[in-house]
Structure 1
């Protein structure tokens, strides 16, 4: 099976893969890099390779590390069993600011942008919410965020935030892109533990709420609990209720729910008002904002 001009792959490598479309993307990327060694994965493709969360699917995003700008590369359509992947044209990007980007090696042969460059590429190229989600996860890694070492984690977060902001300044991108990217880097929070928490924080910030703190520590009954997003002055806790964290079998789900209910009772006994939101609620930001504003207005 032809993956790219001059490069072939046994169809079973795709059909037997647990995620055939992922196998195709990886094969295409490898073929691109073998044929054009100066191309590296960047932007959302580098984020995907790093397991940073994305909200949408994206075409392969590559950047040249050389001085010349290569022509677009057309990759053929692929038929493997019931899988059909249409042909695609990959258009390599020029380095930001005219500088040759640094790179890392991923999983053997794949070459991609550094974590810092990946965050910035996504902040400049993706829509603001998705860029925010990527930036939160990337900043979490850069800061080596640990909730029990909050002060040290926050110091590392701010050092890395300032470094990313400086890198944005030399990006050579348009004013509109840079303005949005700066907003993303200013508000991204290393304390977010999941995509759901990042999206919830994003809509709260966009809704004009202030005084928000992530992973806010509260001591109750001799134990530390960490509220996903807190408004400490108002003692309001806002939590993302991710079903996946409850476990994979009935017993573990029941134990998790019981522990969560006990946690909420202990926090409420300390005077906290807790509101929990599931993934489906994120599609209705006005309702979430309305609930939180009602709590704030009732004090």
Structure 2
């Protein structure tokens, strides 16, 4: 686990501190040293830097700040599609205009710079997290569904539902009931913005979101499917075949199709585990096929081009000529910037304007 040591610096700081490659510049006058990052994965380093940026903004601000949107979800520990989102906050007194954060040069990776967004709408429900203030996850999602790209907002809504519900596929009834309660809270919060230009799309995104998605990749695949298909779609769906119960990540029961977002590439830590788990996986595929189910696998790199992935998914599902409701059509919009794999992303997802509601 990575911990962050903060160093406030100025023009008279010792040269040894300024020259130390392990002391990372976040913003002028604010540097950090990461501890426990020697074997950390790049996304863990990026996350630590993003959190340090929030602390830097709060420390250097002369007014109270409440972090919003993606920054709030970062503090709540809820994953979002972007690994390097804009820093965004609501100021208590007056708007701020700040230069973007510079890129951070870590020994193992480079965290790209990001802009700072000033939000105008005051949060209603505020939590204290590690000395910082953040709006509630539900408010953060509504802000995203009204202002951000549909994919990013849909993924955030799914992850908030998953996190707040403590979703457990072995306790589906209770988990789904909790998700519906969270959905009602989201719709009630959205109801406070009936005149917003993005209201109808936000409403469609919230109604389509599903807490059964285990991770952001599953949520992004579900977003594509729901933008194409208006029929019944079930996450973490139990499929009973003989004495076995298999769970389908994303299931279209009326078409007998299972979509498996294939984020799991490791079958074990040794040869015996790999052999056993591979055998179980092949047996599962055989049972499902014999029972009339068709399994479609989606891989990370398939989503590098969302528009192409959506077209190929329509063909694989065989639904490209089926009628689609207006609700489903509202979910889709081609991402404004090309997507780069989360493992190797070298640019932030997008640059927002400096002032937004």
Q: TM-score range by the shorter chain?
A: 0.7 to 0.9
For 1:273 and 1:142, the matched residues in 2 are separated by 32
Q: Residues 65-84 of structure 1: matches in 2 within 5 Å?
A: 66=92, 68-74=93-99, 77=102
Taking structure 2 as the reference length, the TM-score comes to 0.69
Is the alpha carbon distance of 1:277 and 1:186 closer, same or farther for their aligned partners in structure 2, counting shifts above 3 Å?
same
For 1:220 and 1:85, the matched residues in 2 are separated by 47
Structure 1 or 2: larger helix share?
1
For 2:298 and 2:102, the matched residues in 1 are separated by 42
Pick from 297, 302, 310: which aligns with 1:285? 310
2:297 is paired with a residue of what secondary structure?
strand
1:192 is paired with a residue of what secondary structure?
coil
Q: 1:60 maps to what in 2?
A: 87
Q: Does 1:275 align with 2:300?
A: no
Q: Residues 96-111 of structure 1: matches in 2 within 5 Å?
A: 99-106=122-129, 108-111=130-133
For 2:110 and 2:263, the matched residues in 1 are separated by 33
For 2:279 and 2:319, the matched residues in 1 are separated by 28
Q: 1:215 maps to what in 2?
A: 236
Q: 1:27 maps to what in 2?
A: 52
Q: 1:243 maps to what in 2?
A: 264
1:92 is paired with a residue of what secondary structure?
strand
Q: Does 1:92 align with 2:113?
A: no
Is the alpha carbon distance of 1:260 and 1:30 closer, same or farther for their aligned partners in structure 2, counting shifts above 3 Å?
same
For 1:169 and 1:190, the matched residues in 2 are separated by 21
Q: What 5-or-longer segments of structure 2 have no aligned partner?
A: 1-8, 11-25, 323-357
- CA positional deviation for 1:147: 1.3
- Is 1:133–1:195's contact at 8 Å kept on the other side of the alignment? yes
For 1:245 and 1:278, the matched residues in 2 are separated by 14
Q: Deviations over 1:58-115 (max 9, x none)?
A: 2211123x3x3332234775776778888876342122xxx54322233x22322211
1:117 is paired with a residue of what secondary structure?
helix
Q: Residues 56-205 of structure 1: matches in 2 within 5 Å?
A: 57-64=84-91, 66=92, 68-74=93-99, 77=102, 90-95=116-121, 99-106=122-129, 108-171=130-193, 174-175=196-197, 177-205=198-226
- Is 1:74–1:87's contact at 8 Å kept on the other side of the alignment? no
Structure 1 vs Structure 2 CA RMSD: 3.3
Q: 2:15 maps to what in 1?
A: none
Higher relative contact order (CA 8 A, sep 6+): 2
For 1:288 and 1:86, the matched residues in 2 are separated by 32
For 2:255 and 2:101, the matched residues in 1 are separated by 58
Matched length: 288
For 1:80 and 1:38, the matched residues in 2 are separated by 29
- Is 1:72–1:89's contact at 8 Å kept on the other side of the alignment? no
2:246 is paired with a residue of what secondary structure?
strand
- Is 2:146–2:196's contact at 8 Å kept on the other side of the alignment? no
Is the alpha carbon distance of 1:25 and 1:236 closer, same or farther for their aligned partners in structure 2, counting shifts above 3 Å?
closer
Taking structure 1 as the reference length, the TM-score comes to 0.81
- CA positional deviation for 1:131: 1.0
Larger CA deviation: 108-117 vs 288-297: 288-297
- Is 1:69–1:92's contact at 8 Å kept on the other side of the alignment? no
- Is 2:104–2:113's contact at 8 Å kept on the other side of the alignment? no
